[in-house]
Structure formats: C-alpha cells, structure tokens
Structure 1
C-alpha cells in the first residue's frame, strides 16, 4: 500500500428504515479529500447504543483518523477546512436573499428570451421584481406565524394592527402575480406602493434612526438575514415599481 494513502474509519447508522444523512455526508467528504474509508454500518438501535456507550459519545456518525476520534460531521468538516469552527461562524447570512434575487433574475431573463429574444429590457426588469416578490412571499408563507412574529419587531403598521403581519405575504404575492400577468394593475400598483412605502419607512426608522440590530423577516420568520440595506432595497423596488405602473 502506498505510504501516501490516507485512511479513515467511519461508523454510521444504516438501518432498514433509516440511513443517517450525516453519515452519508461524512463518507462523501472523506472520499472527496482523498481518504480510503473503512465504512462500518450500525444496523440496529442496540448496536448503535452499544457503540455510543463504548466510545462515550452521544451521536453518530463518528470518524476516526489514524486512531484518533475526530467526531461527527461538523467536527470532520472543520478538520478538513470545509467549515469554520463554531466560534468563528457568523449568526447572519445573506445567502437566502441572494439565492432568491438570483433565481428571480434568471426566471425573468428566461421568460424575456422566450418572448423577445432579449435578456434585458423594461418588461424583463418588471418580471424580475415581480418574480422576486412572489419568491419572497413563498418564504414568508412557509411559516406564517413565525414571520408575523418577527415582522412585529420593526414594521410600523404591524405594531399598530397586528393582523397586518399575516396579511402582508398574501398582498406581496398578489401584487407580484398580477405584475407577472400584466393584469389588474389598478390593484397591483396601489398594493405594491402601500407595502413598499410602509416597509421602507419601517426599515429606515428601525435601522438608520433607532440604530437597532434586528433580523429581517423578508425571507421568513427563521431568517438570519440582518435588517438593513437588503430589506430597504426590497421595499424600495416594490414602491418604485408600483409608482411606475401607475
């Protein structure tokens, strides 16, 4: 065997009705980093409990490299440089909102290419905003209760009329769908203007006047996106588009 061969021993749950996803991720991670994996399956609850008791661990999978226990998937990912240590990880992320705006832009360009054989014109920009509104509304509607609770932290109208927090995602979706269709703009435009203006004022007051550090509910109630420039941009786009449509 080559002296440069890297070997790892992996213990993971592979049962008839359950295959541990983190065990699969650990095996894949090791193989991508050039390790030959000695893959041990824990095929029953009793076998798993016995393994955990023997090695004094509470979870599986567990990876061993050169006889040393590395730990679960998170510890392995840190060791192999795929993930930062927990102490260095940020509690905020722009990834969800970047993904939504990127997909909205690609959808708008795809529809624009189908209709006009162009990738950029005024109508395509309208579709971009409309698709983004619809995708953001879907995020909020996945857990309406969590969204409305987070929304109450900063939205000026919701703080005065609590039910607005549960109406907002439906209004955003309605305006976005009508904008995509180019129909009933007499309704879509005022709705976009209203929610965009209230949202912009709320973000400006909370972030730039009161200097509060909050999470934005724009991508749902479990969001790690910080309230600030991105949230203000979303609301200003709706406001400007609504005014333009009028």
Structure 2
C-alpha cells in the first residue's frame, strides 16, 4: 500500500514554483500517492503562509503529518541538499569528461581510428577552450578569485583577463595547429606562472582557496585539479613546439 502525501505549492499563470515541481517529482518517484494542492495566486500563497505560520512554499505533509518544505523532504528521504553545498570538483570533472569524449569522437571522425596522441592533443585543447569559456562568461567574478593566488595578477589585475583569453584562444589555435611558434610559447609562460602560483598558495602557504578555473563564484577547491589544468597546458605547449621544430 502506497504512503500518502500532500503538497501545497504555488502554480499561477505567471509563476510555477520550481521547488514545488521538484518536490512533487520526488514524492512520485518515491512511490507516494500525492494529493497536489495548487496555490493559484500570489495572494493565496501569502495567505497560506500566514495562516500556517510557514516562511515558504511548497509545504509537504506525509501521512497527515507536517514535514516542511523541499529541503525537509530531501532530508526525510535521505538525499543530499539541493543545490549541493560545500566544495566540489564536479564542475571541472564534468568539463574534462565531456572534452575527453569530444576528443575521442573527433579523432575517430577525422582519422578513422583512435590515435592516442591525437586524442590527448584534442582533449587538452578542447579543455582549454571549455575552461576559457567559463572564465570569459564572467570576467570580473573570475578575476576576483584569480587575483587571490596568481602571482602576476596580484601585481597587475588586467592580467587575469589576458589569461582567460590566452587559455581559450590558445585552445582554439592549437586544435588547428595554427601559429604554433607564437601561441605555444605564450601558453607555456602563462600556464607555468599559473602552476607556480597554485603550488605556492596551496602546498607552501597552505591557503584554503577556491579555484577560479571554472569562473566566478566557484565551489571548486584550489588544489591538485587546478594544478593539473596548468600542467596539461604546459605539456601541450611543449609538445606543439617539439612537433613544429
């Protein structure tokens, strides 16, 4: 026999509460028989909260007992908070996973085989482009995080913006092997500075910082993954130079 639940959520012609939608979905996926009550106007929503002395909607009841809002429901079901709280490497790992698969599919399309060298080249170049996009979409927010640890940006803030362009532009040109003798040395210098800056901040000074690698308002901790980003860029630049020699 299914457990019974009731939910009071805001559903108006102008606004559909996303937390209400997600709460309803959770209840259904956990096999509750749900009675869905719609609060169809801002006034009705406000009145419901005042009458029931709650600060938010949706509000959920399980087997007639008041549970609370969306967060309380997730906790009741043994689920992690939404949105995720605290530090996470998920944004960077997601980028690396997608760019690696892009490198595989592109190599197969162009060569008809999976050349490990070409896969590695494209993986690094695609990753540079993707990470550069993350920085370029909010340059000011990204720069605020970058200047906290980058040795050059601490002395000359506009370098933070230059670094984002170097990363994205370098990746684009490296995909096609264009202007190698200009691009590769610039990328090598910028990524070397980045690697030294991160090593100093994290491993020598033991500072607890967020990485600006995925742009502003990052929840990614500065550390090994961030250092790896710069080391991959250094390796790519050196490899391109040896291939062009």
Band the TM-score falls in, shorter-chain normalisation: over 0.9
Confirm whether residue 103 of structure 1 aligns to residue 98 of structure 2: yes
1:191-217 CA-partner distances (Å, limit 9, x unpaired): 210111000000110011111111111
Distance 2:201 2:9 in 1: 47
TM-score, reference length from structure 2 = 0.95
Counterpart selection for 1:230 from 225, 229, 232: 225
Confirm whether residue 29 of structure 1 aligns to residue 26 of structure 2: yes
Q: Give the corresponding residue for 1:146.
A: 141
Confirm whether residue 54 of structure 1 aligns to residue 60 of structure 2: no
Q: Give the corresponding residue for 2:157.
A: 162
User: 1:78 touches 1:85 (CA, 8 Å); kept in 2?
Assistant: no
Q: Give the corresponding residue for 1:214.
A: 209
Confirm whether residue 42 of structure 1 aligns to residue 28 of structure 2: no
Following superposition, the deviation at residue 187 of structure 1 comes to 2.2
Q: Secondary structure at the match of 2:152?
A: helix
Counterpart selection for 2:13 from 2, 12, 16: 16
Confirm whether residue 124 of structure 1 aligns to residue 119 of structure 2: yes
Residue correspondences, number = 241
Counterpart selection for 1:135 from 110, 114, 130: 130
Q: Secondary structure at the match of 1:156?
A: coil
Confirm whether residue 80 of structure 1 aligns to residue 77 of structure 2: yes
List alignment gaps of at least 5 residues for structure 2. Answer: none
Q: Secondary structure at the match of 1:50?
A: helix
Distance 2:186 2:140 in 1: 22
Q: Secondary structure at the match of 1:218?
A: coil
Runs of 4+ residues deviating >4 angstroms: none
Cα-Cα RMSD: 1.5
List alignment gaps of at least 5 residues for structure 1. Answer: none
User: 2:27 touches 2:34 (CA, 8 Å); kept in 1?
Assistant: yes
- 1:191-206 equivalences under 5 Å are 191-206=186-201
TM-score, reference length from structure 1 = 0.94
Distance 2:182 2:229 in 1: 19
Distance 2:80 2:224 in 1: 27
User: 2:71 touches 2:81 (CA, 8 Å); kept in 1?
Assistant: no
